[in-house]
Amino acid sequence: MTGTDIQSYVETRLGRTFEPDSMLLAINECLDEIADLALLYATIDLTVTDTEQWYALPDSFSTVEHVIIYKNGKEYYYEGWIYRNGSLRIPNEGSYRIVARKMPEYITDIAQPLNNIHRMYNNAIKYYALGWVRENEDLDDQTSEKYYEKFNNKVVRAAEKLISTKSPAKVQVIRHA
């Protein structure tokens, strides 16, 4: 789905045209609202040599899910890490892989696809854009609240469905490194 698809949907539902820049703003604001419920993940490899140092993670990272340590060519979950305000501290030297949730990436052009977010969120984004347009036309519009409520319900439902899928674990847990 592209930003143009969302714009077309909103225009069809409301019976009038909107500026692409306004739709782009609404879509990117929606991606901020979805935040880490988009269930996007990224990894960072980190070699810790200073056990007192706090390592700043990228701004797009929102929650550290796992820290994996490499020992003797094998991967193990590491549980001794501390995460605070976008920074991570690991009190043991070694090579680690940080697995974290991240925020969806903005689109910069209305014709650009939203390809970094699961398609189960497509209808939620459309409802957010509808609510955003209605709210910006009239701050007291009650219909915008209904669209935002539908948006929230669809985001939660999509996240719950995606979280419920399970994959087999492949690493062992080390409780005390």
Q: Which two tokens stand for residue 57?
A: 């993670």
What is d(CA 144, CA 147) in angstroms, rounded to the nearest whole number? Answer: 5
Chain segment 128-166, per-residue pLDDT in tens = 999 999 999 988 889 999 999 999 999 999 999 998 865
The domain segmentation of the chain, as residue ranges, is 3-35+106-163, 38-103+166-174
Query: For residues 38 and 100, is the Cβ–Cβ distance under 8 A?
Result: no
Chain segment 85-122, per-residue pLDDT in tens = 999 999 999 999 999 999 999 999 999 999 889 999 99
DSSP per residue, 111-150: TSB-TTS-GGGHHHHHHHHHHHHHHHH-TT-HHHHHHHHH
